[in-house]
Amino acid sequence: MLGIDPKGDLKGRTALVTGAGRGIGRAIAVGLAQAGASVLLNDLDRDVVFETGTLIDQAGGVAKSMPGDLTKADFPEKLVNATLAGFGSLDIIVNNAGYTWDNVIQKTTDEQFQAMLDIHVVAPFRVLRAASNWIRETAKKEQAESRRVMRKVVNITSISGMDGIAGQAGYGSGKAGIIGLTKVMAKEWGRYNVNVNAVGFGFIETRLTQALGGEIDVQGRKIKVGVQDAVRETLRAQNPLGRFGTPEEAAGPVLFFCSPLSDYVTGEVLLCSGGSHV
């Protein structure tokens, strides 16, 4: 079971987690709930996000689910407003939602490239912009009362955005973009006692890194995902730990950045890759 502290470091805190329906996002949401946070869950897939909510409820945690498409211009604001309406606060934001849509650059369409930017950097930008008024006004009130309340933003990036992976012009660009947004927001929101950091994943065992042949449905598009068996074996052999990570292991660094343990850490990118960069 995942958790930051069995005593509940995050009791009384509210978290918003996107892409919380499965894999790493689900592990993050469950971990936050186990640490005492109330969690607003978002995912494009309605069924799986409610499954995550049920898991949290059955374990004694508190969660609400709001399925929907983050790439719709008005949805991020609705999501933030729903979190505030449902829980009365917004202390942790984890911009985790994403997927891969790969191809070499000469075969990458404008639609494909833009889709990667939309989900990996435009949607997180809109979520943070939507939360900005509440975060700033709340921090000012707390400061007027001589209180310092630390809040957290964790953006998800990738080794593709840091070191590049062939065939991922769009994905790598989006994941590099979110690093830039992280660095900027750390400087803008430091005055409001917000830590803004990023976690960059290597190869984690999810449906996106499964053996080639899988398929996901995004807005009616059937997108092939997965990695060729030979490439998977090469990557595994080259990894210093000799294996891919689990979603629970991937959630660990995110939970660190959500916890009081990271109150004096901001503007950083922490790699969770088992020591591999490619």
**Ordered DSSP codes for 29-76:** HHHHHHTT-EEEEE-S-HHHHHHHHHHHHHTT-EEEE----TTSTTHH
Identify which of 165, 167, 163 has the alpha carbon closest to the alpha carbon of residue 106: 167
Contact between 25 and 102 under an 8 Å Cβ cutoff? The reply is no
Among 87, 18, 92, CA closest to 255: 92
The verdict on whether 171 is a catalytic residue reads yes
pLDDT given at position 4: 46
CA-derived radius of gyration, the chain: 18
- Return the closest-CA partner of residue 182 out of 139, 138, 124, 230: 124
Extract long-range pairs of 112-116: CB within 8 Å, 24+ residues apart.
Answer: 112/170, 113/169, 113/170, 113/173, 114/170, 115/71, 115/170, 115/218, 116/170, 116/171, 116/173, 116/174
Domains with residue ranges and CATH for the chain? 14-272 (3.40.50.720)
Residue 211 identity = A
Integer distance in angstroms from the first to the last C-alpha of the chain?
Answer: 29
Are 93 and 70 in contact, with CB atoms under 8 Å apart? no
pLDDT, position 8? 52
| Predicted pLDDT of residue 236 | 82
Give pLDDT tens digits along the chain (278 positions): 444 454 458 999 999 999 999 999 999 999 999 999 999 999 999 999 999 999 999 999 999 999 999 999 999 999 999 999 999 999 999 999 999 998 999 999 999 999 999 999 999 999 999 999 999 999 999 999 999 999 999 999 999 999 998 999 999 999 999 999 999 999 999 999 999 999 999 989 887 777 676 778 887 788 877 777 777 888 888 899 999 999 999 999 999 999 999 999 999 999 999 998 76
**Strand, coil or helix: what is 104?**
coil
What integer pLDDT is reported at residue 233 of this predicted model? Answer: 84
Can you give the pTM of this predicted structure?
A: 0.93
- Confidence at residue 3, expressed as pLDDT on a 0 to 100 scale: 46
Check the CA dihedral 44-48-51-52 and report its sign. Answer: negative
User: CA-CA distance, 20 to 40, in Å (whole number)?
Assistant: 9
Residue of 99, 171, 192, 264 marked catalytic:
171
- Helix (H) or strand (E) run with residue 116 in it: helix 110-117
